[in-house]
């Protein structure tokens, strides 16, 4: 519309100039015709020529001022139209940013777990006579956490030891008889076999006696007592729960697209729901996806020497990737194009609005890191909803407001 107006205005001015020059050409032609006439004698003729010359001079001077006087308003009108057109452009606020190397992060949610969790069970039948360890206590490997009644087990050990002494004497006597030739070698071997059986019986009786003491198989925390004094435990019934919290394990689930972004040994930043911020390293990634969720379980090992970190706590995990060129932008400036694609609007060197699709690689409290923009770019902070891609806009830098 503005362009059609400018063309019409140019055509009007051009027509005016043609008319003015035609007027001047006619005046000059009259002057030239008058000058070529043969001079006539007489005082009256000289007066008429002088009057004509003066008249033509006035016409020339008047025409000159007419042309110049009309050009100045034209320039003023053109300037006014330019200012009006500039004021009619939509205004936007911009910020100039430069691409920077940034290590994107994968944000995941998981939970903390014990490295090991074992239910301590009875190996021999009998009633519980003692639970010497309180719930929540730290225990060392081999600590007795439950004790059952001895019953006749000590008597069985004594009986086995008495039989062992008998078999030892029998073997010694058989050996002497063999040396003197009063007994065969077979008798000595039989006595030795009886001695070995007696030794095994003693060992068996001692193991059975030792099974009344249920011990911690590793150092950890005796988390829960599952049997009280007087409870009768059969083999396989639980007595208590022992957990190992050093190291603490944080488990996460990786989607099929996230699997390539995580590797064993990769460092992880973890924030627990209880407020602790800790570091760990990926120690295991499942090789087979869960058929129900199509996700891969991964484990992160976290040092926990003082056992202050607890199991079963919700965790936010951030895994850093290889640094790549990206821009930090405010989260509120994202826009949609006509196809519903998310991206950013920016101005090129001619203040023309451009749109480009972007990919988010990280989210922080300072903004969103994206890739896909030109390295040096003026992003539109305000007014992006009122300008279309390809349109011209009046830009104002955010610091110039």
pLDDT value at 79 more than 70: no
Q: Collapsing DSSP states into helix, strand and coil, what is residue 151?
A: coil
**Is the same domain home to 361 and 275?**
no
Give the confidence band of 27 by pLDDT, cuts at 50, 70, 90: low
Residue 396: which CATH number? 2.40.420.20
Give the confidence band of 8 by pLDDT, cuts at 50, 70, 90: very low
- Measured CA to CA in angstroms, residue 364 lies from 90, 279, 360 at distances of 32, 18, 11
Q: How many distinct structural domains can be found in the chain?
A: 4
Q: What is the pLDDT of residue 47?
A: 44
Give the confidence band of 14 by pLDDT, cuts at 50, 70, 90: low
* Prior bond of 121 cis (ω within 30°): no
Say which range, 36-40, 83-87, 237-241, has the weakest mean pLDDT: 36-40
d(CA 322, CA 360) in angstroms, rounded, equals 15
Domain span holding position 369: 91-103+324-400
Phi and psi at residue 225, to the nearest 5°? -95, 120
Give the end of a domain, one of 269, 303, 322. 322
- Measured CA to CA in angstroms, residue 269 lies from 107, 298, 315, 347, 367 at distances of 10, 14, 10, 37, 19
Give the confidence band of 48 by pLDDT, cuts at 50, 70, 90: low
Taking Cα atoms as reference points, which of 295, 293, 250 lies closest to residue 273? 250
Give the end of a domain, one of 242, 261, 277. 242
**Each residue of 351-370: pLDDT tens digit?**
999 999 998 888 888 899 99
Output 322 or 49, whichever has higher pLDDT: 322
**Is the same domain home to 138 and 70?**
no
**Is the same domain home to 280 and 341?**
no
Q: What is the pLDDT of residue 205?
A: 93
**Is the same domain home to 144 and 237?**
yes
Give the confidence band of 81 by pLDDT, cuts at 50, 70, 90: low
**Is the same domain home to 231 and 252?**
no
Output 38 or 260, whichever has higher pLDDT: 260
Give the end of a domain, one of 242, 272, 298. 242
Q: What is the pLDDT of residue 235?
A: 94
**Is the same domain home to 256 and 354?**
no
**Is the same domain home to 189 and 276?**
no
Q: What is the pLDDT of residue 49?
A: 59
| Mean pLDDT (whole number) for 341-351 | 93
**Is the same domain home to 206 and 272?**
no
**Is the same domain home to 34 and 143?**
no
CB-based contact 221:133 (threshold 8 Å): no
Q: What is the pLDDT of residue 107?
A: 86
Helices (H), 181-292: 185-210
Handedness of CA 234, 240, 245, 249 (dihedral sign): positive
| Residue position matching structure tokens 């895994």 | 319
Tokens describing residue 16: 């005016």
User: How many other β-carbons are positioned within 10 Å of the β-carbon of residue 355?
Assistant: 20
pLDDT value at 181 more than 50: yes
Say which range, 46-60, 156-170, 246-260, 372-386, has the weakest mean pLDDT: 46-60
Q: For residue 140, count CB atoms less than 10 angstroms from its CB and return exposed for 0-12, middle for 13-18, buried for 19 or more.
A: exposed
Q: What is the pLDDT of residue 97?
A: 93
Taking Cα atoms as reference points, which of 324, 302, 319, 320 lies closest to residue 311? 302
Residue 249: which CATH number? 2.40.30.170
**Is the same domain home to 224 and 291?**
no
Say which range, 10-24, 120-134, 216-230, has the weakest mean pLDDT: 10-24
pLDDT value at 60 more than 90: no
Q: What is the pLDDT of residue 180?
A: 85
Residue 218: which CATH number? 2.40.50.100
**Is the same domain home to 166 and 209?**
yes
Mean pLDDT, rounded, of the chain: 84
pLDDT value at 182 more than 70: yes
**Is the same domain home to 218 and 253?**
no
Tokens describing residue 236: 């396989």
Residue 392 DSSP one-character state: B
């Amino acid at each position: 519309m503005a362009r059609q107006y400018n063309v019409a205005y140019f055509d009007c001015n051009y027509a005016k100039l043609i008319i003015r020059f035609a007027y001047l050409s006619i005046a000059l032609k009259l002057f030239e015709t008058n000058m070529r006439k043969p001079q006539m004698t007489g005082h009256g003729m000289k007066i008429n020529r002088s009057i004509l010359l003066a008249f033509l001079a006035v016409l020339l001077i008047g025409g000159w001022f007419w042309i110049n006087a009309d050009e100045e308003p034209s320039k003023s009108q053109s300037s006014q139209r330019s200012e009006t057109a500039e004021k009619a452009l939509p205004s936007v606020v911009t910020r100039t940013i430069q691409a920077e190397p940034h290590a994107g992060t994968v944000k995941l949610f998981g939970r903390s777990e014990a490295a090991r969790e074992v239910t301590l069970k009875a190996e021999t039948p009998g009633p519980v006579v003692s639970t010497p360890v309180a719930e929540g206590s730290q225990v060392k490997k081999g600590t007795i956490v439950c004790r059952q009644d001895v019953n006749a087990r000590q008597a069985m050990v004594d009986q086995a030891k008495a039989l062992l002494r008998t078999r030892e004497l029998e073997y010694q006597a058989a050996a002497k008889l063999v040396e003197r030739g009063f007994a065969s070698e077979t008798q000595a071997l039989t006595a030795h076999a009886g001695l070995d059986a007696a030794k095994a019986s003693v060992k068996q009786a001692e193991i059975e006696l030792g099974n009344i003491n249920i011990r911690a198989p590793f150092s950890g925390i005796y988390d829960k007592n599952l049997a009280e004094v007087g409870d009768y435990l059969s083999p396989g019934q639980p007595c208590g729960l022992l957990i190992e919290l050093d190291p603490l394990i944080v488990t996460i689930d990786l989607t099929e697209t996230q699997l390539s972004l995580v590797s064993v040994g990769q460092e992880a930043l973890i924030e627990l729901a209880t407020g602790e911020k800790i570091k760990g390293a990926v120690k295991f990634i499942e090789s087979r996806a869960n058929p129900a969720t199509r996700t891969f379980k991964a484990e992160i090992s976290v040092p926990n020497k003082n056992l202050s970190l607890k199991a079963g706590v919700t965790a936010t995990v951030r895994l850093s990737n290889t640094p790549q060129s990206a821009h930090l932008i405010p989260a509120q400036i994202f826009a949609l194009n006509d196809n519903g694609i998310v991206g950013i609007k920016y101005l090129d060197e001619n203040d023309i609005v451009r749109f480009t699709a972007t990919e988010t690689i990280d989210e922080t409290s300072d903004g969103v890191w994206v890739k896909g923009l030109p390295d040096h770019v003026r992003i539109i902070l305000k007014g992006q909803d009122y300008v279309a891609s390809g349109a011209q806009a009046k830009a104002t830098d955010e610091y110039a407001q």
